[in-house]
Homo-oligomer: A and B are copies of this chain.
Amino acid sequence: MAAAERDWPDGIKKTKQRQAVLTALEGSGNPISAAAICAQTEKAGAAVWLSTVYRVLEFFVRKGVVTKVAVLNSDMALYEINRFQHKHYAVCVRCRKIIPMDNCPMEKFVPKLADDGFQVTGHNLELYGYCGDCGAKG
């Protein structure tokens, strides 16, 4: 069955709810909120309770399967599947659209920080502005 075929991370007990959360995350190209994941599981016919979604997400984040994304001026935390490729986002200040970028301006910057005795383990980058649909006029 499909569940058996899914590439499942090592050392993680497979449950209906965790699969549903992972499927919801995979179905969204962009980071989504816990509430959105919950709604998605309902729509898919495998409803997962919101608090369970939070617990599953926290678990996945600790396991390195999922990344928590901080978005300024959004009071909700967003989550995305860790696709093991660097991603950062541009956020439209008008329509809140989230646009992924495939370049990472950090690459040349990180070594510099190491000189100050700071060992970088990760980073978070967001840009704010107007997307093509919204233009610079509000």
Beyond A103-B109, A109-B103, A109-B105, whether A128 also contacts B117 by CB under 8 A is no
Q: Which residues of B contact A105 (CB under 8 A)?
A: 105-106, 108-109
- Copies of the protein in its oligomer: 2
Q: How many residues of A contact B (CB 8 A)?
A: 38
Q: Which residues of B contact A125 (CB under 8 A)?
A: 123-126
Are A120 and B127 in contact (CB-based, < 8 A)?
yes
Are B127 and A90 in contact (CB-based, < 8 A)?
no
Report if A131 contacts B (CB, 8 A): yes
Report if A54 contacts B (CB, 8 A): no
Cβ-neighbour of A131 out of B73, B92, B117, B122 (below 8 A)? B117
Q: In whole angstroms, how far apart are the Cα atoms of A136 and B112 in the complex?
A: 17
